[in-house]
Amino acid sequence: MLTRIDHIGIACRNLDETIAFYQRTYNFSVFHSEVNEEQGVREAMIKINETDDGHATYLQLLEPIRDDSPIAKFLAKHGEGVHHIAFGTADVKAAADAIAEKGVQVLYPEPRRGTMGSSITFLHPKDCGGVLTELVQAAASEDTH
């Protein structure tokens, strides 16, 4: 049901500097960027590779736009670094419901809007061995620059 690593989310204080690091160090470039007001972030997606389910794997670089956002809170507590992993699925609601039945807390019972028009939810890190875990159903077309 989960068919790829969709992305790894990385919390940073300065998005432009972090993009520059990935650019000069690895030659990666930004595939897509946007502001997600609801999540309280300015973000850049760096595409790493296509996956055999027809989608792709990304790095998601995340800078907070509000002091009370999850990324701002994480930065204050832990500093910069890996914030979450995200698995891709063709049906985020079905995947979340099936995982909830196993006793894992799903943070958004109704999926919300994620990057590039995707539908997302999260699993509580306390139920996932300390790993904040996101489930992502990509939009039909990811070409949403």
Q: Please give the positions annotated as active site.
A: 7, 43, 60, 84, 134
Query: Could you say which of 132, 135, 137, 138 contacts ligand CMX (CB under 6 A)?
Result: 132
Which range, of 9-17, 87-95, 97-105, 122-130, touches Co ion by CB under 5 A?
9-17
Query: Could you say which of 25, 68, 77, 141 contacts ligand CMX (CB under 6 A)?
Result: 77
H-state helical runs in the chain: 15-26, 70-78, 92-100
Query: Could you say which of 4, 8, 9, 133 contacts Co ion (CB under 5 A)?
Result: 9
Distances from the Cα of 96 to the Cα of 33, 39, 102, 123, 135, angstroms: 26, 19, 10, 8, 7
Distances from the Cα of 84 to the Cα of 5, 117, 122, 140, 141, angstroms: 11, 19, 9, 23, 24
Interaction between residue 65 and ligand CMX (CB under 6 A): no
Query: Could you say which of 58, 83, 88, 138 contacts ligand CMX (CB under 6 A)?
Result: 83
User: Smallest distance, Å, CB 23 to ligand CMX?
Assistant: 21
Decide: 50 and 4 in contact? Cβ < 8 Å: no
User: For residues 7 and 93, what is the distance between their CA atoms, to the nearest angstrom?
Assistant: 18
H-state helical runs in 49-123: 70-78, 92-100
Interaction between residue 41 and ligand CMX (CB under 6 A): yes
Interaction between residue 134 and Co ion (CB under 5 A): yes
Q: Which residues in this chain contact ligand CMX in the complex, by CB under 6 A?
A: 9, 36, 39, 41, 60, 62, 70-71, 73-74, 77, 83-84, 107, 114-115, 122, 125, 130, 132, 134
